[in-house]
């Protein structure tokens, strides 16, 4: 198993939540203090470097117009990390290619980072959460179709080396695609896709890309991974699905003693408790299927908001979206989820949130890396086959 330190680069210095409508989309940026923001960037970069020193890999992501993740241009931070780090794999998860108008530009950015890092890029692609469509002015209808056309075009741009090719598709049009540089890794960097729905996962499995799912807990994760394995097998990729094709993102905090672990875990819940977003931003038309909207009009919970039930440490651990405690407790919690979902090869660690201070974050990184990770690598080997009890 590989463990990835993931930080959303949040800006936590906000007024009381009842003084604003939404932490995303409409929160005025006068609240953002550039001096504090600069210090936060320094700090979060330092924490990624510490994670690398401890033998972990690095993950970052991208959101827009939000205090929860002040990284609206993740390839920029990725480029900085490519020069600051020496050995860690660098996972961007991901490029929101349903919302970016120029897929070839994305292919160029990723190729550059792959060169700068001498082949350490793991290139992830996401559809983007619903609150991203307004910042991007991106039509929420037919996003999946746009994502797949963009991805296929990016792969072709990476792997075509014989001069310009044309692309006249449904959503994107180019007469002469011929990117410089081409990627360092051959034929191209590993591709990751995130999805929280089984229907999306089957398609990812058919392509054999790495499937990541975020905070989907016991049954949600199993449904996604089952769909991935089904898609993989139906595409004729063989009956054995390697465990390294599957990734799970959880809130993770390990500390040497229970009291410190508990305190850190409480602070990590910020991502759940602070995510104040009204329905008109959380559910743009077309983002979820018609039948899901009918269910919501009948009072069902928004699929993406289910995890908000888990707003306590116990609730989050019970739901399988948080692993927190002493090294032994964290291992047991991980193992329980690992066994329930049929295994996964990558743990994406949301290891910093809100007011979890630098020293506390480092305790979490080091305790995990030194006391949990060695055992996880031994018990959950990269060579395992997923879905086997």
Partner 1 sequence: MQRHVIAIAGVELELFEFGEGRPIVFLHGASGFVPEHPFVAPLSARHRLIAPSHPGFGASSLPDWIDAVADIAHIHLELLDRLGLDQVDVIGCSIGGWIAAELASMAPKTVRRLVLVGPVGVKTGPVDRLDIPDIFALPQSTLERLLFHDPERMRTDPSRLTDEQLGIAARNRETLALLSWEPYMHNPKLPHRLHRVTAPTLFLRGESDGLVSAEYLAAYSRLLPNARTDTIAEAGHAPHLEQPEAFAAMVLAFLDAGAVS
With beta carbons less than 8 A apart as the criterion, state whether 29 and 13 touch.
no
User: The tokens of 320 are what?
Assistant: 């399988």
Determine if 383 is a binding residue for partner 1 (CB under 8 A): no
Minimum Å gap between C-beta 286 and partner 1 is 4
Our CB check for partner 1 shows the closer of 75 and 96 to be 96
DSSP-assigned letter for residue 301: P
Determine if 279 is a binding residue for partner 1 (CB under 8 A): yes
Q: Which part of the chain contacts partner 1 (CB under 8 A), choosing from 131-139, 179-187, 353-361, 364-372? A: 131-139
Distance CA 334, CA 317 (A): 10
Residue 351 — φ and ψ, nearest 5°? -105, 5
Determine if 137 is a binding residue for partner 1 (CB under 8 A): yes
Determine if 350 is a binding residue for partner 1 (CB under 8 A): no
Residues in contact with partner 1, shown as a per-residue x/- string from 164 to 203 under the rule CB under 8 A: ------x---------------------------------
Cα separation values, 111 from 120, 122, 157, 311, 350, Å: 11, 11, 10, 40, 26
User: The tokens of 64 are what?
Assistant: 């827009």
Our CB check for partner 1 shows the closer of 161 and 173 to be 173
Residue appearing with tokens 């559809």: 127
Determine if 284 is a binding residue for partner 1 (CB under 8 A): yes
Q: Which part of the chain contacts partner 1 (CB under 8 A), choosing from 102-110, 196-204, 241-249, 290-298? A: 290-298
Determine if 28 is a binding residue for partner 1 (CB under 8 A): no
The footprint of partner 1 on this chain (CB under 8 A) covers a number of residues equal to 21
Please pick, from the candidates 36, 83, 280, 308, the single residue that binds partner 1 as defined by CB under 8 A: 280
Residues in contact with partner 1, shown as a per-residue x/- string from 239 to 278 under the rule CB under 8 A: ---------------------------------------x
Minimum Å gap between C-beta 66 and partner 1 is 15
Distance CA 103, CA 305 (A): 30
Cα separation values, 152 from 86, 155, 180, 259, 261, Å: 30, 5, 18, 49, 43
Q: Which part of the chain contacts partner 1 (CB under 8 A), choosing from 287-295, 316-324, 329-337, 341-349? A: 287-295
Task: Give the relative orientation of helices 258-268 and 358-367 as an angle to the nearest 10 degrees.
Answer: 120
Q: 215: alpha, beta or left, given left = phi > 0 and alpha = psi -120 to 50?
A: left
Determine if 294 is a binding residue for partner 1 (CB under 8 A): yes
Determine if 25 is a binding residue for partner 1 (CB under 8 A): yes
Please pick, from the candidates 42, 142, 328, 374, the single residue that binds partner 1 as defined by CB under 8 A: 142
Determine if 141 is a binding residue for partner 1 (CB under 8 A): yes
Distance CA 251, CA 357 (A): 15
Our CB check for partner 1 shows the closer of 1 and 97 to be 97
With beta carbons less than 8 A apart as the criterion, state whether 64 and 94 touch.
no
- Among 82, 21, 91, 34, residue whose Cα is nearest residue 62: 91
Please pick, from the candidates 259, 297, 378, 389, the single residue that binds partner 1 as defined by CB under 8 A: 297
Q: Which part of the chain contacts partner 1 (CB under 8 A), choosing from 31-39, 107-115, 265-273, 279-287? A: 279-287
Residue appearing with tokens 């991901």: 94
Report the sign of the C-alpha dihedral through residues 356, 357, 358, 360, in that order.
Answer: negative
Residue appearing with tokens 């031994």: 378
Q: Determine the length of the chain.
A: 389
Minimum Å gap between C-beta 12 and partner 1 is 25
Residues that bind partner 1 (CB under 8 A): 25, 134, 137, 139-142, 170, 278-281, 284-286, 290-291, 293-294, 297-298
């Amino acid at each position: 198993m590989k463990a990835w330190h993931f930080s959303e680069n949040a800006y936590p210095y906000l007024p009381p939540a009842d003084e604003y409508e939404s932490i995303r989309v409409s929160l005025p940026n006068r609240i953002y203090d550039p001096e504090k923001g600069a210090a936060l960037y320094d700090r979060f970069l330092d924490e990624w470097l510490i994670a690398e020193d401890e033998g972990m890999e690095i993950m970052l992501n991208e959101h827009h117009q939000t205090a929860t993740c002040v990284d609206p241009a993740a390839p920029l931070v990725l480029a900085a990390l490519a020069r600051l780090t020496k050995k860690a794999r660098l996972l961007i998860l991901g490029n929101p290619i349903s919302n970016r108008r120029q897929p070839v530009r994305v292919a160029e950015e990723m190729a550059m980072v792959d060169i700068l890092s001498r082949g350490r890029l793991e290139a992830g692609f996401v559809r983007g959460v619903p609150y991203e469509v307004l910042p991007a002015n991106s039509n929420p209808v037919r996003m999946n179709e746009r994502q797949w056309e963009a991805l296929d075009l990016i792969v072709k741009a990476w792997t075509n080396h014989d001069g310009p090719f044309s692309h006249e598709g449904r959503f994107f049009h180019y007469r002469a695609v011929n990117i410089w540089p081409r990627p360092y890794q051959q034929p191209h960097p590993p591709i990751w896709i995130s999805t929280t729905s089984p229907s999306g996962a089957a398609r990812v499995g058919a392509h054999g890309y790495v499937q990541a799912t975020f905070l989907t807990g016991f049954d949600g994760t199993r449904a996604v991974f089952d769909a991935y394995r089904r898609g993989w097998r139906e595409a004729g990729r063989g009956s054995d699905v390697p465990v390294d094709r599957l990734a799970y993102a959880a809130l993770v905090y390990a500390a040497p003693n229970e009291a410190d672990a508990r305190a850190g875990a409480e602070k990590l819940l910020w991502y759940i408790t602070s995510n104040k977003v009204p329905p008109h931003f959380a559910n743009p038309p077309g983002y979820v299927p018609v039948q899901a909207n009918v269910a919501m009009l009948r009072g069902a919970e928004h699929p993406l908001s289910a995890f908000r039930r888990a707003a306590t440490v116990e609730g989050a651990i019970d739901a399988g979206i948080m692993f927190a405690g002493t090294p032994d407790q964290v291992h047991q919690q991980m193992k329980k989820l690992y066994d329930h979902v049929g295994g996964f090869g990558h743990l994406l660690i949301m290891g910093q949130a809100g007011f979890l201070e630098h020293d506390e974050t480092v305790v979490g990184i080091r305790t995990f890396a030194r006391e949990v990770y060695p055992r996880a690598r031994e018990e959950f080997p990269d060579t395992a086959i997923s879905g086997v009890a």
